[in-house]
Amino acid sequence: MRSSLLSGRAFRSARRGTAPQCASRTQSVPVQRLIWRAVLFSIFLAEEENDRSDLRRKPTREIAMSTKLQLLLVALLVAVLIVDVSFAQRRRKYRRRTTTTEAPVQDEIMNMLEADEIAEEAATAEEAEVILENGRNEVRSKQQRLLQDPCMDKHCGAGRVCKNTEEGTAECVCVELCNQEVDPRRKVCTNYNETLGSDCEVYQARCFCDTDDARCRGPDYQHVHIVYYGECRQMPMCKEEDMADFPRRMRDWLFNIMRDLADRQELSSHYLKMQREAETNHTLRWSNAAIWKWCDLDGHPHDRTVSRHELFPIKAPLMALEHCIAPFLDSCDINNDHKITLVEWGKCLQLDEVSLLFSYFSRE
């Protein structure tokens, strides 16, 4: 570390146009030698001058004056030598003091950085431990709730409710009693042309037959389902002219429903974008609405086809109001395989097949 600091200091000194400090220490030795040589030479000259004075037999007063001058010169040279040596010592001492103080400062910085890193790692470990402990507490809390109420995590289908057994487990059993509906619009008409009080009674009847309960009305009720909401009644025949105009009415109805859902902010961002495009581009007005409803009906399983039972959300509420809805939806299943593809859906609504498929695949 010290060598790197000295080399850096020498480099900075060279850039400023000055010699590095270590060079001045090596140059002080020849100067001292020259001074010593000058002192010795002065003494030699003084002795030689004394000899000459003796030879010339100068007066004693002149000899004394010359000797004093020589001694004064020697003293001056000695003083210069002492000052130079003292200056060199102070410079070396300052350099040692600077070098020894720089190293502890850098060590202190490294210690601070290391301490910060250790503190950060400790904080991260503590945070991870808190998250882990919270997860453990949540699991324990859920386990405790499950021990208190096993039905909390149990899902039962339509017409069934969860019940705690004596062994402390949860099981799904048939609904014992359905609520009595007073609104006639809540009544349902089954596929056996029978009016039941609510959809709960339909699912209850299926459950009784599925579980071999004595209250099962008969083996046929294992497949009972809702045809439409409202009391059963004699449906008028769908006239040919009504059936011919029904695709147009269906397209308008789908677009209006899609727009109402957009106004209530009940559409996803994907379908909301399609609805806005349909508002400004009339060529997409009906195709976008048809794609939205077809995808909405393709629920479970999501196999890009709409089965007969998946048509229930659109068929049951409208059948009492639109007597042509049932024959219209039946006509959409062109090959009679109980599944309606997007192409069949488009033909049923009298939409251009190429435009419909282009609009659909461009958004996938």
Determine the Cα–Cα distance for residues 321 and 330; give it in Å rounded to an integer. 17
pLDDT value at residue 134 = 79
Q: What CATH number should be reported for the domain holding residue 177?
A: 3.30.60.30
| Residue 25 structure tokens | 């220490």
pLDDT value at residue 255 = 92
Q: What CATH number should be reported for the domain holding residue 276?
A: 1.10.238.10
Determine the Cα–Cα distance for residues 164 and 148; give it in Å rounded to an integer. 10
pLDDT value at residue 318 = 84
* pLDDT per position as a tens digit, 252-285: 999 999 999 999 999 998 899 999 988 888 778 8
Q: Is residue 142 included in any domain, yes or no?
A: no
Domain that holds residue 167: 160-229
Instruction: Mark whether 263 and 185 lie in a shared domain.
Output: no
Q: Is residue 126 included in any domain, yes or no?
A: no
Determine the Cα–Cα distance for residues 227 and 190; give it in Å rounded to an integer. 5
Determine the Cα–Cα distance for residues 232 and 295; give it in Å rounded to an integer. 30
Q: Final residue of a domain: which of 86, 118, 150?
A: 118
Instruction: Mark whether 275 and 221 lie in a shared domain.
Output: no
**Are the C-beta atoms of 202 and 174 separated by less than 8 Å?**
no
Beta strands in the chain (DSSP E): 160-164, 170-174, 188-190, 195-196, 226-229, 306-307, 339-340
Q: Final residue of a domain: which of 229, 263, 288?
A: 229
Backbone angles phi, psi at 8, to 5 degrees: -65, -40
Residue 209: count of CB within 10 angstroms of its CB = 19
Q: Is residue 254 included in any domain, yes or no?
A: yes
* pTM of the complete model: 0.51
pLDDT value at residue 202 = 92
Cβ burial, residue 278 (10 Å; 0-12/13-18/19+): buried
81-99 burial, b for 16+ CB within 10 Å, e for fewer?
beeeeeebeeeeeeeeeee
Q: Is residue 92 included in any domain, yes or no?
A: yes
Instruction: Mark whether 222 and 244 lie in a shared domain.
Output: no
C-alpha distances in angstroms, 239 versus 13, 163, 242, 282, 327? Answer: 106, 51, 5, 30, 11
pLDDT value at residue 351 = 93
Q: Is residue 298 included in any domain, yes or no?
A: yes
Q: Is residue 281 included in any domain, yes or no?
A: yes
Q: Final residue of a domain: which of 84, 118, 152?
A: 118
Determine the Cα–Cα distance for residues 131 and 123; give it in Å rounded to an integer. 12
- Who's near 294: CB < 8 A, 6+ residues apart? 306, 340, 342, 345
Instruction: Mark whether 223 and 264 lie in a shared domain.
Output: no
Instruction: Mark whether 244 and 354 lie in a shared domain.
Output: yes
Backbone angles phi, psi at 349, to 5 degrees: -90, 5
pLDDT value at residue 10 = 42
DSSP state of 193: S
How many independent structural domains does the chain possess?
Answer: 3
Instruction: Mark whether 264 and 214 lie in a shared domain.
Output: no
Low-confidence ranges of the chain (pLDDT < 70): 1-70, 74, 77-109, 139-148, 363-364
pLDDT value at residue 56 = 52
